[in-house]
């Protein structure tokens, strides 16, 4: 039975991943992974950066040099094709910058931060801000109190108006809103993030998201965004706002949409548990995520979608070794490994329908601190 078939059978029969203490340790999982998987190659990592940037430049050159020669009706096809291809490729660039934040790009932390800052700033992402909040997500994944991103709400905290969106039209509106505005709203207002007792923002060096010693680097992140914004402003003045939106704005919107889609589906599934402080521990939290199948886009996205479980276990493994590491630990993980091969568009609709809030099981008195998705 294949991994995807096995997991789908689990969904049908149990609807849940195990929540008991795993019969293995993190050390045992690490020993099962070939040692070379943990080695970072500066040359190989840079080759992916160069490859992605060559594609970005090629698509840009074709669009700006030849699209105006295409007969008018066909331009309505050419531009959307460009937006999709460029948006997908920029998602790959985003993933490499994300690896820099995990120190998975090279053996040199300063180099990782420089590369990550440049790449993320070019995509209007505050590099250090994201690096630190994302690191806390990894440290607290699955915790109802301390996880930083995609923290599900208990039923008691669901807003009154949500019931009006629990239907196909409302669900479609919610999905479109989440994919287009979810990422900027998270950065600016911590939407869908961990609740704080005061305003939280990724651009604020004194936000409760960060410690005092991190504030200087948050300023550096903001400076990177300001430099990019200045470049974009000058381009808009020189080329026109319409040109900038077509060449850069729409592909960036698609990249942001893929980012939200990928992370949402990795952390949202009817089988995934969440824990309060009475039940949570790091290993069980790290296993409360699911790998997905996005077909041909795996390579474009540098396997971020189908190696997420091992990424949460060992986040410094480079993406080009993550598939081998996943294959190595799957026999040990057994039922604790989550994979769903449902086509992405179907999975998105299903999760939006079935994963509205979380509740503990009333008929399981020994697991009151374990929360499950409900619809």
Residue 75 pLDDT > 90, yes or no? no
Bridge-based pairing state of the strands 291-292 and 339-340: parallel
Sort 60 into a burial class: Cβ within 10 Å, 0-12 / 13-18 / 19+: middle
Q: What is the pLDDT of residue 116?
A: 98
Q: What is the pLDDT of residue 291?
A: 97
Which tens digits make up the pLDDT trace of 324-373? 999 999 999 999 999 999 999 999 999 999 999 999 987 666 678 999 99
| Both tokens assigned to 243 | 């040109």
Under 8 Å between Cβ of 272 and 264: no
Neighbours of 101 (CB within 10 A): 22
Residue pLDDT, tens place only, 161-177: 888 898 999 999 999 99
Q: Give the residue among 39, 48, 84 at the shortest CA–CA distance from 251.
A: 84
Closest to 325 (Cα-Cα) out of 23, 14, 30 = 30
Which of 209, 52, 77, 217 has the alpha carbon at shortest distance from 140?
A: 209
Tens digit of each residue's pLDDT (9 = 90 or more) over 269-289: 999 999 999 999 999 999 999
pTM for the predicted model, two decimal places: 0.94
């Amino acid at each position: 039975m294949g991994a995807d078939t096995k997991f789908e059978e689990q969904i049908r029969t149990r609807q849940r991943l195990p929540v008991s203490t795993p019969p293995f340790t993190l050390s045992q999982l690490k020993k099962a992974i070939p040692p070379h998987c943990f080695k970072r190659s500066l040359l190989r990592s840079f080759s992916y950066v160069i490859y992605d940037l060559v594609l970005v430049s090629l698509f840009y050159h074709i669009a700006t040099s030849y699209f105006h020669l295409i007969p008018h009706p066909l331009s309505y096809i050419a531009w959307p094709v460009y937006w999709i291809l460029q948006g997908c490729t920029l998602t790959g660039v985003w993933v490499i910058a994300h690896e820099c934040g995990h120190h998975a790009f090279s053996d040199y932390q300063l180099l990782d931060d420089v590369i990550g800052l440049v790449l993320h700033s070019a995509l209007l992402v505050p590099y250090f801000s994201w690096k630190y909040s994302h690191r806390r997500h990894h440290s607290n994944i699955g915790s109802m109190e301390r996880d930083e991103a995609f923290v599900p709400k208990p039923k008691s905290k669901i807003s009154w108006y949500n019931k009006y969106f629990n239907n196909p039209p409302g669900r479609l509106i919610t999905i479109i809103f989440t994919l287009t505005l979810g990422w900027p709203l998270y950065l600016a207002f911590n939407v869908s993030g961990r609740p704080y007792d005061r305003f939280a923002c990724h651009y604020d060096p004194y936000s409760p998201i960060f410690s005092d010693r991190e504030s200087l680097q948050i300023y550096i992140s903001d400076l990177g965004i300001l430099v990019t914004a200045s470049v974009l402003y000058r381009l808009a003045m020189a080329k026109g706002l319409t040109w900038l939106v077509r060449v850069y704005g729409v592909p960036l919107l698609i990249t942001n949409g893929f980012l939200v889609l990928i992370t949402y589906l990795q952390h949202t599934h009817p089988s995934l548990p969440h824990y309060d402080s009475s039940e949570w521990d790091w290993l069980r939290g790290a296993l409360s995520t699911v790998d997905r199948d996005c077909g041909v886009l795996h390579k474009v996205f540098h396997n971020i979608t189908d190696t997420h479980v091992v990424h949460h276990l060992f986040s410094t493994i480079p993406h080009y070794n993550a598939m081998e590491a996943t294959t190595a630990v799957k026999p040990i993980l057994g039922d604790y490994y989550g994979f769903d091969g449902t086509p992405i568009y179907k999975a998105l609709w299903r999760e939006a329908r079935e994963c509205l809030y979380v509740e503990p099981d009333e008929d399981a008195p020994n697991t009151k601190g374990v929360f499950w998705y409900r619809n």
